[in-house]
Amino acid sequence: MTLTGIAISVALLIGLLFVQRAYWAWTAGGGLLLLEWAYAGPDSWVTWLGASALFGAVALLFGKSDWRCRWVTPLVMPRVGRLLPRLGETERIALEAGTVWWDKQLFSGRPDWGVLFDFRPQALSERERAFLDGPVERLCSMLREWDVCQSGDLPPDVWRFLKQERFFGMIIPEKYGGLGFSAQAHSAVVQKISSRSITAAVTAMVPNSLGPAELLLHYGTTAQRDHYLPRLARGEEIPCFALTGPEAGSDAAATQSEGIVCRGKYRGEEIVGMRLDWHKRYITLAPIATLIGLAFRLRDPDRLLGDEVERGITCALIPADLEGIEIGSRHDPMGIPFQNGPIVGRGVFVPLDFIIGGVERAGQGWRMLMESLAAGRSISLPSLSVGGAKLATRVVSAYAMVREQFDTPIGRFEGVEEPLARIAGLTYLADATRILTAAIVDAGEKPAVLSAIAKAYLTEALRSVTNDAMDIRAGAAIQRGPRNVLGNVYAAVPVGITVEGANILTRSMIIYGQGAVRCHPFALEEIRAFESGDLERFDRAFFGHVGHVFSTASRALLLGLSSGRLERAGPDGFARRYVQRLSQASSGFAIASEVCMASLGGQLKRREMITGRLADALAWMYLASASLKHFQDTGARVGDRPFVAWACEHALANVQQALDGVLRNLPARPLAWAIRALIFPLGRRARGPNDARVSEVATAVLDDAEARERLTSGIFVPPDDELGLGRLEAALEKAAEALRIEARLRAAARSGVIERAPGEALANAGLAAGVISRAELEALHAADEARAEVIRVDAFDAAEYPGMQR
């Protein structure tokens, strides 16, 4: 055999595998090798004939599915089945809930970019825009977060306004008196309020997330919907949803809150009902709730409902004023005074028709919760995070120009450019993800994995943004008071990190766990086929899977060798290279994921450091895809290039780091080495944004007013004279003008037109020499005054300070 012949065979094999023809690739590759062998003249024709016969038999056996099913699959199925994960009932419900979309494409290693770029997000309607410009703007102007913190609650007029304008009924259809908003509008509302008051945002957000209204809409009986939805929409009922208890936090299904089916008296009448005992904590809106959505374990020891004693988790709506309920006390969530507290119920007897969906829904609570989780999780915390991040971007970019040290705006120092670029880049990326995820919900999906990614990675983005913002504002960030508008955003970060699935759990367990089952092109089908004992179904899934592995490996290698350039799909122009590199990342992720599943089998779900890294890789690919989509959908503006480039380079470096970490820690070492050669044939080349890119992003957010405006669009910007952001904005305008005048003065001093002198003396010399006009001198004075005003921090009367709420 010649080397050329072998090379041609291997190239054919890889080429056919690349275009997803695994079976034909192996058959043609093997056939060519045999021909080449014959051409070269084998030492023994008997050996050649034997090898050819064997090859033909194997090719035929694997090529004809009925033969394969008869002879091969029965041997394979039990062996492979042992490696497949065993799912408990609660786990199965959680993993199977919701739908998949772009995550499935990324998981496949062969994303179809048309699916993403041809997808048209639903635009805001006239009514939704009017609501954002009207009631939301008005609400924001009524709010002063510092005062809210001092009084420990939203003012009564804000509560009235929230109810009157139906903020609590954003997801409730108009026919029930709600606003019936799209996910995009709902997200825009939460984003805007968050930029003004975290307390108000959480208050408005919770009734529209997973809770009584969402559950009633999907599972409620007609009578329940007709009764409660109009009352919830009008704010006549304040709902809360109580799942978490002292024993059941992340493992919510372990709740010890219990309902016993029994006979008892309700409003004087003897009925079959439930006696409830519960202890819940951390429940948002609980202290003022009138209607409790309660999750508990239902038991029927006397078999009053049927044969089943353990009915399982059940959700019911319980009026808060019933006897036996202790409600009203408050927790203090990091000093942010949204209503949050424990609820205890002792021997509370209620009718069975309090169960959401009626008695036939008894025991279906976990499924209902898991199925309904995605919509709220896609919107609430991602939007709150983006609102906070945009506010931080706006405040810090102004402050970095207004605040001068060493005679220079601090934003001009490279050391400050670095966190500034991170703030701006992450804000772009987070906003893009918020918009795309809401659009997916509007398209009718219940994105289980993508909503978990949006929740976890956008709340983490806010953590990074606020930490950087604190560092840039330094002392001014630390002194609390009405001037410090970022203090509460910083304090609220752990709230977002913890609720709706704490981030460690979401990252290390949920995202990849659910992704591997739901997004993998064959895994779920294999599990289902194995569990049902369906040989033909298993055969299709398993051999499809085998072909997928070979073709993904070949794709990873060829895309790795070409740095993604073999990817032909995606938009033309600036975004193209990033699309190609994401395709390469996706194929690398897919093959790394295969290797983890195959080598660790059922153990993989306990190797959370590995699944956490795989979650990182999947998540950063989604975040980068969302950024590219946003860039294209907003007209691929040149001014936005620095942001999208930073976002993609940062994301690609994170994907690479995650995959590298997986391979470094995979127990099957030779396999890890082989896969490393496939994924990184030219080494690890995604190095993240370089210094030039970082400076470019910082300059864009400091000097390009339109780009800054676009990056922070959709938040509330207070009037010029208001403490905090309002005055900072006014000072920025004056400082920008002053910087231009000062530059002229310095140039005049350098060229000897006027003498070098410090500040005011230089300006006066410039005026005398006609370098600047009197109006410009006044502009310099106005800028100085504005600067002095916005670098001030709050100081409190020593006598008054100890009594203040903080």
Ligand X SMILES: Cc1cc2nc3c(=O)[nH]c(=O)nc-3n(C[C@H](O)[C@H](O)[C@H](O)COP(=O)(O)OP(=O)(O)OC[C@H]3O[C@@H](n4cnc5c(N)ncnc54)[C@H](O)[C@@H]3O)c2cc1C
Interface residues toward ligand X, by CB under 6 A: 240-244, 249-250, 282-284, 333, 340, 495, 498-499, 502, 504-505, 508-509, 608
Nearest distance, CB of residue 511 and ligand X, angstroms: 12
| Dihedral angle sign, alpha carbons of residues 575, 647, 102, 513 | positive
Q: Which is nearer to ligand X, 185 or 243 (CB)?
A: 243
> What would the two tokens of residue 630 be?
């946003």
For ligand X, which is the closer residue by CB, 245 or 570?
245
Tell me the closest approach of the beta carbon of residue 212 to ligand X, in angstroms: 11
508/593 with CB nearer ligand X: 508
Looking at 712-773, list the stretches that DSSP marks H as alpha helix, in order from N- to C-terminal side.
725-750, 759-768
- Check residue 355 and report its DSSP letter: B
CA–CA separation, 392 and 195 (whole Å): 9
Give the shortest CB-225-to-ligand X separation in angstroms: 22
Which residue, 214 or 418, is less far from ligand X as judged by CB?
Answer: 214
- Could you tell me the smallest distance in angstroms from the CB atom of residue 298 to ligand X? 17
Give SS3 for 280.
strand
Contact 617, 591 (CB under 8 A): no
Whether 500 is catalytic is: yes
Q: Which of 500, 567, 649, 696 is catalytic?
A: 500
Nearer Cβ to ligand X, position 2 or 256? Answer: 256
Q: Whose CA is closest to 653, among 611, 624, 629? A: 624
Residue 605 C-beta: closest distance to ligand X, Å: 9
Q: How far is the CB of 458 from ligand X (least distance, A)?
A: 16
DSSP string covering 645-714: HHHHHHHHHHHHHHHHHHHHH-S-HHHHHHHHHHH-TT--------HHHHHHHHHHHHH-HHHHHHHTTT
Amino acid code (one letter) for 17:
L
By C-beta, is 227 or 281 nearer to ligand X?
A: 281
Based on CB atoms, which residue is closest to ligand X, 484 or 508?
508
We find the least distance from the C-beta atom of residue 240 to ligand X, in angstroms, to be 6
Q: Which amino acid is at 754?
A: I
For ligand X, the closer of residues 580 and 611 by Cβ is 611
Cβ distance 293 to 209 under 8 Å?
no
Distance CA 451, CA 373 (A): 9
At closest approach, how far in Å is the CB of 662 from ligand X?
A: 17
Q: Distance of CA 605 to CAs 104, 314, 589, 602, Å?
A: 19, 27, 17, 7
CB 232 within 8 A of CB 169: yes
Compare residues 532 and 665 and give the one whose CB is closer to ligand X. 665
Q: With respect to ligand X, which residue has the nearer C-beta, 73 or 503?
A: 503
| Nearest residue to 707 (alpha-carbon basis) of 414, 428, 403 | 428
**How does DSSP classify residue 123?**
P
Q: Left if phi > 0, otherwise alpha if psi is -120 to 50, otherwise beta: which for 483?
A: alpha
Strand-strand pairing, 239-242 and 325-327: unpaired
- The answer to whether 511 and 453 are in contact (CB under 8 A) is yes
Q: How far is the CB of 515 from ligand X (least distance, A)?
A: 16
Tell me how far, at minimum, the Cβ of 202 lies from ligand X, in Å.
Answer: 8
Q: Which residues contact 467 (CB under 8 A, 6 or more apart)?
A: 490
Q: What ranges make up the beta strands (E) of 289-418? A: 291-299, 310-319, 325-327, 340-351, 404-405, 408-409
CA 757 – CA 763 distance, rounded (Å): 9
Q: Are 247 and 263 in contact (CB under 8 A)?
A: no
Residue nearest to ligand X (CB): 249
Instruction: For residue 767, give the nearest of 744, 734, 788 by alpha carbon.
Output: 744
User: Which residues are annotated as catalytic?
Assistant: 500
